């Protein structure tokens, strides 16, 4: 496994624990710092709208994101929450940025425990609510 040598900042892990245990955030967006040494928190939000989250994903740049995905099971079985990890690498981003984000993903992903699904998005149809819902509700222990 090739590694880029990019590390994870403590803030990034703290934010994740706040989301997972404290339910303080709905989603966290991560980015690689400008000097390409650390993965840092770009933004946190409590906005429950999934559309709002999609608007935060830039059209020409890569990001990582963790989203606390909530969905109905139907037939009165109630709601479930799943933590979903996104690797956002749009087709239109620069090749250099796509490479750095791909090779640094593992560093962040392995540091986060309790993520149920991984979504790799290269265009907006792959991160649309329906696509994510399908993937999340298909996974083990989803209901």
Please give the residue ranges that form the binding site for another protein (CB under 8 A): 51, 54-55, 59, 90-92, 123-125, 128
Shorter beta-carbon distance to another protein: residue 56 or 68? 56
Shorter beta-carbon distance to another protein: residue 16 or 86? 86
Sheet holding 27-32, edge to edge: 7-8, 38-45, 27-32, 63-72, 79-88, 117-121
In the block, residue with structure tokens 């624990």: 17
Backbone angles phi, psi at 102, to 5 degrees: -70, -40
In whole angstroms, the minimum distance from the beta carbon of 55 to another protein comes to 6
- Angle of helix 95-111 relative to helix 10-20, nearest 10 degrees, comes to 60
In whole angstroms, the minimum distance from the beta carbon of 31 to another protein comes to 20
In whole angstroms, the minimum distance from the beta carbon of 11 to another protein comes to 28
> Would you call 40 helix, strand, or coil by DSSP?
strand
In whole angstroms, the minimum distance from the beta carbon of 27 to another protein comes to 14
Cα(29)–Cα(40) distance, integer angstroms = 9
Shorter beta-carbon distance to another protein: residue 41 or 54? 54
Shorter beta-carbon distance to another protein: residue 44 or 131? 131
Cα(2)–Cα(28) distance, integer angstroms = 26
């Amino acid at each position: 496994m090739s590694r880029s040598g990019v590390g994870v900042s403590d803030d990034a892990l703290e934010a994740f624990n706040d989301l997972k245990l404290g339910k303080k955030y709905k989603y966290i967006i991560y980015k690689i710092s400008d000097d390409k040494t650390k993965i840092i928190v770009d933004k946190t939000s409590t906005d429950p709208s999934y559309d709002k989250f999609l608007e935060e994903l830039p059209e020409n740049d890569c990001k990582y994101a963790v989203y606390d995905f909530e969905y109905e099971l139907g037939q009165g079985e109630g709601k479930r929450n799943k933590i979903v990890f996104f690797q956002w690498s749009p087709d239109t981003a620069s090749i250099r940025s796509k490479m750095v984000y791909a090779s640094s993903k593992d560093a962040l992903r392995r540091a986060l425990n309790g993520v149920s699904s991984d979504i790799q998005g290269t265009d907006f149809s792959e991160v649309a609510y329906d696509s994510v819902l399908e993937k999340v509700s298909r996974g083990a222990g989803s209901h």
